[in-house]
Amino acid sequence: MSDNNAAGDLAGQPATADDLAFMREALNLAQRAAARGEVPVGAIIVRNGQVVGQGFNQPVGSHDPSAHAEICALRDAGQSLQNYRLPGCTLYVTIEPCTMCLGAIIHARIARLVFGAVEPRYGAVSSGQRLLENGVYNHELQVSSGVLAEQASTLMKQFFRQRRAISKDQGPSTEAGAELQ
Ligand SMILES: [Zn+2]
């Protein structure tokens, strides 16, 4: 909305009220993924205080291995701005991006990345591969992390707990089935 001069240099600083509001929208999108049985991750892209793209994780339902929340949001923003590059945009995502998504974020020239919970296994920013630290990319991406992280990881835990419960109900075809009475 109005000028937000704090947004220029936020890496490592506390989240602004805008950050929290946009991350809440990303969390709502994550819930839409969960409602479709997809791993709950949501992403939103903002420029000058306006949402220009949004997406949620949907690789299973769309038969598309690249349909992660960030990629869907990048495609949406590219269409709405009619540009394959998205300079000056901030991408909010509920979970730390994987290598594919971080690569796409860099290709799109996103200015700032804000994510919620870390993804210890596939995360490519502060976990796992830490792609931004190896000096390969000359695009500078500002990063803020930990924004509403607890809500994001609670969504993930609920989702996987529910999925385990369902696969138990489905009987001995799953490994969990052996534990059934
Ligand atoms: Zn990804």
Has residue 12 got a pLDDT over 50? yes
Q: Choosing from 25, 38, 70, 119, which is the catalytic residue? A: 70
Q: What is the number of alpha carbons within 13 Å of residue 6 lying toward its C-beta?
A: 10
Ligand 1 center to 174 CA (angstroms): 27
Q: Where in the chain does DSSP place strands (E)? A: 42-47, 50-56, 89-95, 112-117, 142-144
Over residues 37-82, the pLDDT tens digits come to 999 999 999 999 999 999 999 999 999 999 999 999 999 999 999 9
User: What single-letter amino acid sits at 145?
Assistant: S
* Residue 133 is a catalytic residue: no
Ligand 1 center to 173 CA (angstroms): 29
Q: Which strands make up the sheet holding 50-56, listed edge to edge?
A: 50-56, 42-47, 89-95, 112-117, 142-144
Ligand 1 center to 71 CA (angstroms): 7
Residue-level pLDDT at 171: 63
Ligand 1 center to 171 CA (angstroms): 31
Residue-level pLDDT at 100: 96
